[in-house]
């Protein structure tokens, strides 16, 4: 597993935990930062995970508006928590991180959904992100 894939998973864990526990993302990020300080061997994945979470936080209103406008008939509240987090990460990478090709962001989100979410989630996420990629 690449360092960036590991970082996406860490970012996903942070966003998911904050959503499920109904705490500010900054609080979940601070807890993970404290834990990461004791794991110097995981430093590479931590740096990019933090960049993802910070980017999602910085652009969350725009990212959420994008999700709602492309996920026809689905509100954020109706989506599984893990799907919301996966979409937020992928959209941040697609729209705000020039280092990640859209195809990579989509593929990573779809693969994570296959193992972490519902049976229908990977197709849903692929469809939403594909529409965003076509319009970007």
Between CA 93 and CA 40 the distance in angstroms is 25
Whether 43 shows a pLDDT value over 90: the answer reads: no
pLDDT grade for 5, boundaries at 50, 70 and 90: very high
- As a whole-number percent, the residues of the chain with pLDDT over 90 amount to 82
- Is 136's pLDDT higher than 80? no
For the cut 90, the answer to whether the pLDDT of residue 2 exceeds it is no
Token digits of residue 126? 């692929």
How far is residue 79 from each of residues 59, 67, 103, 117, measured CA to CA in Å? 19, 10, 22, 11
d(CA 115, CA 27): 27
Q: Could you tell me where the DSSP H helices lie in the chain?
A: 3-21, 25-37, 43-58, 60-70, 81-96, 102-116, 121-135
Paired tokens of 9: 């998973």
Q: What's the pLDDT at 38? A: 80
pLDDT, mean over the chain: 93
Domain ranges (residues) in the chain: 3-135
Q: 3-135: which CATH topology?
A: N-utilizing Substance Protein B Homolog; Chain A (1.10.940)
Pick the closest to residue 84 from 50, 125, 38, 43 (CA basis).
125
pLDDT beyond 90 at 42: no
What is the reported pLDDT for 119?
93
Confidence (pLDDT) at 32: 86
Condensed to tens digits (0 to 9), the pLDDT of residues 63-97 reads 999 999 999 889 999 999 999 999 999 999 999 99
Q: Are 52 and 8 in contact (CB under 8 A)?
A: yes
């Amino acid at each position: 597993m690449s360092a960036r894939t590991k970082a996406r998973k860490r970012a996903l864990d942070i966003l998911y935990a904050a959503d499920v526990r109904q705490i500010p993302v900054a609080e979940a990020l601070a807890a993970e930062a404290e834990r990461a300080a004791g794991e110097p061997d995981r430093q590479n994945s931590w740096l990019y995970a933090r960049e993802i979470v910070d980017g999602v936080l910085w652009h969350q209103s725009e990212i959420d508006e994008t999700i709602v406008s492309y996920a026809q008939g689905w509100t954020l509240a109706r989506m599984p928590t893990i799907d919301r987090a996966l979409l937020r990460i992928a959209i941040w990478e697609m729209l705000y991180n020039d280092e990640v090709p859209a195809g990579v962001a989509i593929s990573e989100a779809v693969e994570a959904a296959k193992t972490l979410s519902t049976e229908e989630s990977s197709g849903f996420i692929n469809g939403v992100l594909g529409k965003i990629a076509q319009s970007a």
